[in-house]
């Protein structure tokens, strides 16, 4: 169906939508660099770049490194941050 301005509305198919139940993608151990960029962080965690930007502004997300306009995350910092957010009982 066309909207008032004449353009067709498109909806994302239900099977293509991102849900909050989508599991996080594990980081590939094959990558040699100890750093990842925002795009990779977002892909690995299933978040948007807007969310990553808000986390940085509020100091809520994983620690980051900024060199000029470049933003990078240490893999070890991201892993530690994720571990600190574990909810529930930890297994021995």
Whole-model pTM: value is 0.62
CA 68 to chain centre: 22
**Has residue 37 been placed in a domain?**
yes
Q: In terms of residue numbers, what domain contains 52?
A: 33-84
Contact present, 52 and 41 (Cβ < 8 Å):
yes
pLDDT tens digits, residue range 59-90? 999 999 999 999 999 999 999 999 999 998 76
CA 27 to chain centre: 12
Domain count, the chain: 1
**Has residue 54 been placed in a domain?**
yes
CA dihedral 51, 85, 23, 10 (to 10 degrees): -20
CATH code (residue 62): 1.10.10
pLDDT tens digits, residue range 6-60? 545 555 555 555 554 545 555 554 468 899 999 999 999 999 999 999 999 999 9
Contact present, 65 and 74 (Cβ < 8 Å):
yes
């Amino acid at each position: 169906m066309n909207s008032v301005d004449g353009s067709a509305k498109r909806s994302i198919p239900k099977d293509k939508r991102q849900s909050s139940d989508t599991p996080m993608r594990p980081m590939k151990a094959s990558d040699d660099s100890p750093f990842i960029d925002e795009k990779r962080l977002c892909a690995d965690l299933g978040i948007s770049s807007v969310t990553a930007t808000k986390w940085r502004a509020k100091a809520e997300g994983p620690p980051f490194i900024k060199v000029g306009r470049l933003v990078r995350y240490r893999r070890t910092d991201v892993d530690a941050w994720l571990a600190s957010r574990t909810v529930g009982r930890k297994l021995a």
